């Protein structure tokens, strides 16, 4: 019925220049790709089509998520639906958009070209999608246009001549309201019909458009709009009115900070009981295994290696879920782009993108959700810079270490009304983290990006009420991604750290704690000379090795090497012991080390996962070690020269 | 094609001003988009021009400046035809507009 069908060449001809060969030789479900502008409800449509039959993976070699879902049409045909990243043009600018382009063109490694394309459009904003459709037509795959959010268009009194537009574009059009599952059956039927009719691709004549061609496409889109779409009688005024408040230069910033304060509070306080619960259940599980299994290596491995390792990964989950709950909600509502707008100038001074604000703020709770949240930044360089500096933000795992050292070395004095010296030092440590993050991002831009600042162009989407289902699904997806992927890297690292601190065991009649005789102990002794210039003794260096699993583990490890039992709950005793054993200069040097040192295997694992590069992970590791060493050296030397040695 | 228009002649046209100089409330029509500010965008000038075009900054489009940031009045939020776009003033330098009350 559509022209796409009539225009198709006869009988199983080649599909395109890139991928010759008749389609019939491929087995499995027919492949349908969802393509559309950002903020068109494409993912809602994907959810409505496939329900829970979804599967998320990564595209080969890139960190872009590959979301595939399945459905069976009433006629019994099985379809595989690919939800491609939103884009304004096939002329890709970000890794996400490149995936969309390559998937549509059938250039993606390990992916066959789609049998049909569903172009998803926001019915209230057709101008943009028309240009994308013109590009998709050049690609030549059989296509259906889904005019989504059609209810809003109707409410606005927008009149679309569907018949005429269908004729003009040469592809069938279905109107949908994905969030209410309206038009889904019709869309499925249309896709089914298109595939059943054997509609074939026409020759792919797409190429990257030049500026002149983009202008031409604009004119063409303008002509089509004028001919088939009558402007809305009651255009949306809500977005304008909401923006008058939320983007107000002063009030907007105040609201943003209030929102962030709430988020920050939630991440810290709502997550705490859950995290305690997870900690407690894994401690119980470890103890239970300890009772059931006979003493020996297997018990140690299962209780201290595997169970403790899994626990140390899982314990991050509540914070990640709460944080992403807010992020997804704000993103779906359309606020995220506004937050980026408000913060852009402040972040931009240090060479960061406005959108870097949320990930960096999240990193005060934990760098892991922060680094994952950097996905909201679509420019690769800006995203990389954000990931690289995120661990400099003072995460909650540093707090136990800071508390221990401050209580041991900083006198509990007041230095002014309501100002304690200890509190001031704590504040200084936080400030040092923030300032160094800004400084490092400035340097990264100079060194790696040669001072270049990417253009900052961002759509401020129309405000929409988020749908519960999509928020819930997205949240589930985050949890799944964190557990399956990060876990695969973090867990082995945890087990490795356990092994290093366990083997070989203490000889019979040993007088020192067992960790002294382990590989961690040996490494600690061996590399202690390297740490001597910054005032670290060998006990400290040994504690740093298990402390690599997670920062707060260093407190327990110091307890082990100084043979203070139950150090985590008995901070006072350990603090007193450290105050006897370390000089003030050493204590301060240790604090300085903890501001910068990459003492967190989990963070490194997530950085590897998110950047998909050991190279960038190494860059982060080494710059942080270098900063930590340098700062500790200066702090130690200055303190010694002032009599603190 | 734009090189032929010799930037000077257009700049002399009293009716045209750079979008980067516009203030909230200013509205009118986009007259010319040509990237000639070469330095420091991290992309070449033609790429910047294409990006501006893709976000709807195209000759003939109606625009209205809606908001600006608190510090340095940067970035700005602009309504271009039916779409709202945020951009930094430095990236808006290459968009020449004709102000009008419309």
The pLDDT value recorded for residue A79 is 92
* Half-sphere exposure (Cβ direction) of A460: Cα atoms closer than 13 Å: 26
Mean pLDDT of chain A: 82
Q: Taking CB atoms and an 8 Å limit, are B82 and A125 in contact across chains?
A: yes
**What DSSP element (H or E) covers A292?**
helix A271-292
DSSP A446-483: HHTSTT-----EEE-PPP-PPPHHHHHHHHHHHHHHII
Q: What value of ipTM does the predicted structure carry?
A: 0.85
DSSP A563-605: T-TTTTT-HHHHHHHHHHHS-HHHHHHHHHHHHH----HHHHH
Site of tokens 């954000």: A386
Q: Taking CB atoms and an 8 Å cut-off, how many pairs form between chains A and B?
A: 122
The predicted model scores a pTM of: 0.77
Query: Which pLDDT band holds residue A313 (cuts at 50, 70, 90)?
Result: low
Residue A41 C-alpha, separation from nearest chain B C-alpha, in angstroms: 16
pLDDT, one tens digit per residue, over A219-255 is 999 999 999 998 888 888 889 999 999 999 889 999 9
Q: Taking CB atoms and an 8 Å limit, are A243 and B77 in contact across chains?
A: yes
Q: Taking CB atoms and an 8 Å limit, are A218 and B55 in contact across chains?
A: no
Test the B interface: residue of A223, A240, A245, A341 with most B CBs within 10 Å = A341
Average the pLDDT over A480-487 and give the result.
Answer: 70
The pLDDT value recorded for residue A451 is 64
Q: List Cβ<8 Å contacts ≥24 apart for A618-621.
A: A619/A388, A620/A387, A620/A388, A620/A391
Q: Where are the domains of chain A?
A: 3-230, 237-334+468-495
Average the pLDDT over A390-399 and give the result.
Answer: 85
Q: Taking CB atoms and an 8 Å limit, are A127 and B56 in contact across chains?
A: yes
Domains and CATH numbers, chain B: 7-99 (2.30.30.90)
What's the longest Cα–Cα distance across chain A? 93
CATH superfamily of A3-230: P-loop containing nucleotide triphosphate hydrolases (3.40.50.300)
Of A164 and A317, more confident: A164
- Listed in sequence order, the DSSP H helices in A142-183 are 150-155, 162-169
Q: Which of A331, A277, A281, A274 minimizes the C-alpha distance to A475? A: A331
The pLDDT value recorded for residue A13 is 37
pLDDT, one tens digit per residue, over B45-67 is 788 888 898 888 999 999 999 99
pLDDT, one tens digit per residue, over A407-428 is 889 888 887 777 788 888 888 8
C-beta separation of A33 from A117 below 8 A: yes
pLDDT, one tens digit per residue, over A112-122 is 889 999 999 99
The pLDDT value recorded for residue A430 is 85
Residue A9: pLDDT above 80?
no
B28-57 burial code (b ≥16 CB/10 A, e <16): bebbbbbbeeeeebbbeeebbbbbbbbbbb
CA distance linking residue A538 with residue A522, whole number of Å: 10
Average the pLDDT over A16-27 and give the result.
Answer: 42
- Listed in sequence order, the DSSP H helices in chain B are 7-12, 45-54, 89-92
Give percent of chain A with pLDDT exceeding 90: 26
Of A581 and A17, more confident: A581
Q: Taking CB atoms and an 8 Å limit, are A454 and B46 in contact across chains?
A: no
Residue B17: pLDDT above 50?
yes
């Amino acid at each position: 019925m559509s022209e796409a069908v009539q225009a198709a060449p006869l009988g199983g001809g080649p599909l395109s220049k890139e991928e010759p060969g008749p389609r019939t030789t491929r087995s499995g479900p027919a492949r349908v790709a969802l393509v559309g502008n950002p903020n068109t409800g494409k993912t809602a449509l994907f959810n409505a089509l496939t329900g829970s039959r979804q599967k998320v993976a990564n595209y080969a070699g890139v960190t872009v998520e590959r979301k595939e879902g399945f459905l069976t049409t009433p006629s019994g045909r099985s379809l595989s639906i690919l939800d491609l990243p939103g884009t304004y043009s096939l002329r890709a600018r970000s890794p996400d958009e490149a995936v969309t382009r390559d998937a549509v063109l059938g250039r993606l490694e390990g992916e066959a070209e789609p049998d049909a394309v569903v172009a998803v459009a926001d019915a209230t904003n057709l101008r943009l999608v028309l240009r994308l459709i013109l590009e998709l037509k050049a690609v030549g795959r059989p296509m259906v246009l889904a005019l989504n959010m059609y209810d809003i268009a109707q409410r606005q009194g927008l009149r679309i001549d569907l018949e005429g537009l269908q004729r003009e574009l040469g592809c069938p059009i279905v109107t949908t309201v994905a969030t209410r599952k309206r038009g889904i059956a019709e869309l499925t039927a249309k896709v089914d019909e298109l595939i059943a009719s054997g509609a074939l691709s026409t020759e792919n004549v797409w190429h990257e458009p030049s500026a002149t061609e983009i202008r031409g496409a604009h004119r063409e889109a303008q002509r089509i709009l004028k001919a088939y779409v009558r402007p809305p009688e009651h255009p949306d005024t809500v977005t304008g009115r909401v923006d008058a408040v939320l983007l107000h230069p002063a009030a907007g910033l105040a609201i943003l900070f209030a929102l962030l304060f709430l988020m920050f509070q939630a991440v810290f306080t709502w997550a705490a009981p859950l995290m305690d619960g997870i900690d407690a259940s894994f401690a119980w599980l470890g103890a239970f295994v300890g009772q059931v299994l006979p003493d020996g290596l297997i018990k140690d491995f299962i209780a201290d290696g595997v169970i403790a390792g899994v626990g140390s990964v899982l314990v991050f989950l509540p914070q990640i879920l709460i944080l992403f709950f807010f992020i997804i909600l704000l993103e779906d509502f359309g606020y995220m782009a506004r937050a980026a707008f408000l913060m852009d100038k402040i972040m931009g001074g240090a060479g960061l993108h406005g959108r870097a604000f949320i990930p960096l703020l999240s990193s005060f709770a934990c760098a892991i959700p922060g680094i994952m949240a950097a996905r909201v930044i679509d420019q690769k360089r800006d995203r990389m810079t954000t990931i690289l500096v995120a661990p400099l933000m003072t995460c909650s795992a540093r707090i136990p270490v800071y508390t221990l050292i401050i209580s041991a070395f900083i006198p509990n004095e007041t230095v002014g009304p309501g100002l304690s010296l200890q509190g001031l030092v704590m504040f200084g440590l936080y400030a040092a983290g923030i300032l160094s993050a800004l400084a490092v991002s400035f340097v990264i831009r100079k060194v790696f990006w040669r001072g270049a600042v990417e253009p900052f162009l961002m759509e401020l989407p129309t405000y929409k009420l988020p749908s519960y289902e999509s928020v819930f699904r997205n949240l589930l997806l985050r949890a799944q991604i964190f557990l399956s992927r990060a876990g695969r890297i973090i867990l082995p690292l945890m087990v490795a750290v356990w092994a290093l601190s366990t083997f070989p065991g203490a000889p019979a009649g040993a007088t020192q704690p067992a960790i002294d005789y382990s590989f961690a102990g040996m490494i600690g002794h061996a590399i202690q000379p390297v740490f001597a210039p910054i005032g670290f003794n060998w006990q400290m260096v040994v504690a740093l090795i298990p402390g690599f699993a997670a920062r707060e583990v260093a407190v327990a490890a110091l307890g082990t090497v100084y043979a203070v039992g139950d150090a985590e709950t008995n901070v006072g005793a350990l603090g007193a012991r450290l105050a006897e054993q370390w000089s003030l200069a050493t204590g301060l040097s240790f604090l300085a080390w903890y501001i910068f040192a990459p003492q967190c295997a989990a963070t490194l694992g997530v950085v590897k996962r998110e950047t998909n590069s050991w190279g960038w992970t190494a860059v982060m590791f080494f710059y942080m070690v270098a900063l930590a060493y340098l700062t500790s050296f200066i702090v130690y030397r200055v303190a010694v020269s002032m009599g603190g040695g | 094609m734009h090189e032929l228009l010799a930037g000077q002649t257009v700049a002399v046209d009293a009716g045209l001003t750079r979008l980067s100089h516009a203030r909230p409330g200013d509205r009118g029509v986009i007259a010319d988009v040509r990237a000639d500010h070469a330095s420091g965008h991290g992309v070449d000038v033609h790429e910047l021009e294409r990006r501006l075009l893709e976000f709807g900054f195209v000759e003939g489009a109606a625009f209205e400046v809606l908001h600006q940031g608190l510090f340095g009045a940067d970035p700005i939020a602009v309504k271009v035809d039916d779409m709202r776009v945020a951009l930094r003033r430095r990236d808006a330098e290459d968009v020449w507009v004709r102000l009008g009350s419309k």
